Amino acid sequence: MTALTSTAALRETMGGHFHALGDAAVHKSAPIAWCTSVGPTELLRALGFEVFFPENHAAMLGAARTSQRYMPVVHAQGYSPDICSYLTSDIGAYLTGETPLEAYGLSGVPQADVLVFNTNQCRDVRDWFEWYGRRWNVPVIGVRSPRALEHVTTDDVDGVTKQIEGLIPVLEAVAGARLDHRRLSDVVRASRECSDLWEACLRTAAHRPAPLTFFDGTVHMGPAVVLRGTESANAYYRILRAELEARVGAGTAAIPGEAYRLYWDGMPIWGRLRALSTLFEEFRTAVAASTYCNSWIFPALDPAEPLRSMARAALELFIVRSEQPKERYIEEMVARYDVDGIVFHDCRTCPNNSNTRYGMPRRLADRLGIPTLVLDGDVNDLRCFSDEQARTNIEGFVEQLADARPAATRRVTA
């Protein structure tokens, strides 16, 4: 796989984020808020918080393949092995006193002054944050979002907007500052720019050959997750976009000899990213697009209506929607990226981000006339994933792709 030179700038950008958190934790240079990955980040930044995202930390644990040491510690406290392995990995690492953030000079995760969740993803984030809230005796506040929405209505947006507004007095008290609404608009504007830049980066994979894959995206999405609303994130995505556009112009392929293209739905299998990336490359198959990486694109964000647009963006998220709009979205992505098949990851401990359990793969295969594959696995718990079975299934799937749409007949897109 052709490496991206932007990775050096990515490491610098992410390093700056973690060093700022470390400085806030040690020197009290800023209050610290924990936030779920698609929570009200912009509100926190506007109030001067350094923002920490434990889902990002949990993904780091999964990618480092250390989660298996930590999860049993939390299971022993009565937390089920069936719940989110992000939660059990992260809390287990805390109880064990270990963290990959040591590479950035942090001795542990930064202790929060307040924890802010949005249950638009799942209920587990609230339980996760409440564990730390009890541990540290700090406020845990958040948005309790409606789920499985067919349509996002005015009433839905009104309800979530009011909940976000209700967070402000608590956050002002913790921060020791009043909310500056002009500052909030500026942060929302920066977040929208980040969203647009990240979308432009991902859209380059609609070209043939794709200049990046889903596996690249899971790494390079870091600033969109943890630095949304900052200039440092936007500066990084300008660098990445320029490199990807240059690759498109030069015809540089992420997968040399790209023959087939796939769409990935569901969470990454963090501990097997490299192995799966190498396996798909072996079969000259580019996983060109994904639901997951596109989940940090927020076209609803509007600096003219910061709080209301934050509410709408949180409700329009793919994971919040019902089956029909999810299927329409995937159909649009299949057409946009001209893919030959869809891989669904059935994530054992993340049912909210698994779209395999109510017949969606079969419906889409029948309607679109392309093969679908369901891979069993998990974000962090590798006991749920079999390398041998995955290889057998993917190899057979690529054979299906060859039968369904031979590479020799594929059209070239510009």
pLDDT of residue 286: 98
Cα 112 to chain centroid, rounded:
22
pLDDT of residue 409: 47
**Structure tokens that stand for 206 in this block:** 């609609």
Within-domain flag for 411: no
CA distance 50 to 356: 37
pLDDT of residue 411: 41
* Nearest Cα to Cα of residue 170 among 138, 216, 209: 138
pLDDT of residue 404: 84
341 plus 402 within the same structural domain? yes
Within-domain flag for 413: no
Within-domain flag for 1: no
Residues 6+ apart with CB under 8 A from 3: none
Within-domain flag for 291: yes
CATH code: domain of residue 36: 3.40.50.11890
CA angle 174, 60, 1 (to 5 degrees): 140
pLDDT single digits (tens) 35-67: 999 999 999 999 999 999 999 999 999 999 999
12 plus 46 within the same structural domain? yes
Within-domain flag for 414: no
pLDDT of residue 317: 96
147 plus 68 within the same structural domain? yes
165 plus 193 within the same structural domain? no
142 forms beta bridges with 117
CA distance 375 to 386: 9
272 plus 151 within the same structural domain? no
Specify the 3-state DSSP secondary structure of 1.
coil
CA distance 149 to 156: 9
158 plus 193 within the same structural domain? no
Specify the 3-state DSSP secondary structure of 189.
helix
CA angle 341, 363, 333 (to 5 degrees): 45
Q: Which residues of the chain have pLDDT under 70?
A: 1, 405-414
**Structure tokens that stand for 144 in this block:** 């309790």
* Nearest Cα to Cα of residue 24 among 82, 118, 106: 106
pLDDT of residue 55: 98
pLDDT of residue 406: 53
CA angle 321, 374, 276 (to 5 degrees): 110
CATH code: domain of residue 232: 3.40.50.11900
Q: Of 137, 157, 180, at which residue does a domain stop?
A: 180
pLDDT of residue 405: 67
**Structure tokens that stand for 85 in this block:** 């392995």
Question: What's the Cα-to-Cα distance from 386 to each of 82, 316, 383, rounded to whole Å?
Answer: 18, 34, 8
247 plus 328 within the same structural domain? yes
pLDDT single digits (tens) 339-359: 999 999 999 999 999 999 999
- % helix / strand / coil in the chain, to the nearest 5? 55, 10, 30
CA distance 372 to 261: 12
Q: 277: domain range?
A: 184-406
* Nearest Cα to Cα of residue 53 among 68, 39, 67, 42: 39
pTM across the whole model: 0.96
pLDDT single digits (tens) 85-130: 999 999 999 999 999 999 999 999 999 999 999 999 999 999 999 9
Within-domain flag for 358: yes
Within-domain flag for 412: no
Please give the tally of structural domains in the chain.
2
